[in-house]
């Protein structure tokens, strides 16, 4: 039965291509990859690579898919592991896992959240659902934490009228019609804050200023969770 082994070898070589691409990105940045350079490192001809990824864009998309899936699985696993400690603990664990993935896999994280690659346009039908996975996990937990409605109290989290108008059209398309505007806006602003901490850490802008970036990040996570407390 040769086919399973052939499929195995094909998967192994596909993984080797992606691993080599990641090594090039670590060395030269996310835009620093080419199929010919990868073929050279793997000691194969360029057409051998094209049998797996016909275009560089196809390889980049595969790397993005892997990164988003790994991030989503990391957050979901952390959340499930904290299930016995309650919903807030699950929410916190998922967000701490977000930073842990970024710090442990900076190349992949920067590929999906960093500078765009010149000439590359991600296929929205593939990447948008994957990019939404972390937010949907957190929204599901938040809706369980505050099942009886949500009212924003801090002034900084009051949604601008223009954002509310956009939500009216976008939420039904995104399958989020059931999510209160205040909650969705609070989640997006909170995520922006903690994501900013992660990005500043990855590019080494924050550590020289605060020293313990993990402590700062954890504090921001706890602040975000505190917004769900009754006024």
Q: For 18-68, what is each residue's pLDDT tens digit? A: 999 999 999 988 878 889 999 999 999 988 999 999 999 999 999 999 999
Q: 1-54, what's its fold?
A: Arc Repressor Mutant, subunit A (1.10.10)
Token duo for residue 231:
């006024």
C-beta of residue 121 within 8 angstroms of C-beta of residue 157: no
pTM of the model: 0.90
Question: What are the sequence ranges of the domains in the chain?
Answer: 1-54, 64-226
3-state helix, strand, coil in the chain (%, to 5): 75, 0, 25
pLDDT tens across 67-92, in order? 999 999 999 999 999 999 999 999 99
pLDDT at residue 229 in the model: 77
- Of all residues in the chain, what percent carry a pLDDT higher than 90? 73
Concatenated DSSP letters of 43-82: TS-HHHHHTT-SSHHHHHHHHHHHHHHHHHHHHHHHHHHT
- First and final CA of the chain: distance in angstroms? 66
pLDDT tens across 112-165, in order? 998 788 889 999 999 999 999 999 999 999 999 887 666 665 666 788 999 999
Q: 64-226, what's its fold?
A: Tetracycline Repressor; domain 2 (1.10.357)
Average pLDDT in the chain = 90
- Classify residue 79 by burial, with Cβ atoms within 10 Å: 0-12, 13-18, 19+: buried
Token duo for residue 167:
């939500």
């Amino acid at each position: 039965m040769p086919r399973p082994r052939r499929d195995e070898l094909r998967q192994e070589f596909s993984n080797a291509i992606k691993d080599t691409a990641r090594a090039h990105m670590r060395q030269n940045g996310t835009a620093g990859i080419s199929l010919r350079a990868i073929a050279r490192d793997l000691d194969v001809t360029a057409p051998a690579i094209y049998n797996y990824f016909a275009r560089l864009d196809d390889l980049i998309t595969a790397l993005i898919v892997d990164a988003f899936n790994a991030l989503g699985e990391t957050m979901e696993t952390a959340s499930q592991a904290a299930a016995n400690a309650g919903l807030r603990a699950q929410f916190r664990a998922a967000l701490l896992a977000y930073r842990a993935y970024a710090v442990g896999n900076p190349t992949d994280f920067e590929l999906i959240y960093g500078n765009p690659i010149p000439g590359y346009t991600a296929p929205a039908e593939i990447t948008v659902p994957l990019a939404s996975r972390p937010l949907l996990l957190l929204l599901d937990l938040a809706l369980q934490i505050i099942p009886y409605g949500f009212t924003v109290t801090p002034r900084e989290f009051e949604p601008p009228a223009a954002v509310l108008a956009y939500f009216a059209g976008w939420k039904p398309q995104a399958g989020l019609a059931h999510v209160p505007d205040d909650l969705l806006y609070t989640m997006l602003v909170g995520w922006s804050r903690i994501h900013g901490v992660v990005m500043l850490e990855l590019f080494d802008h924050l550590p020289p200023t605060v020293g313990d970036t993990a402590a700062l990040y954890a504090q921001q996570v706890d602040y975000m969770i505190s917004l769900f407390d009754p006024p």
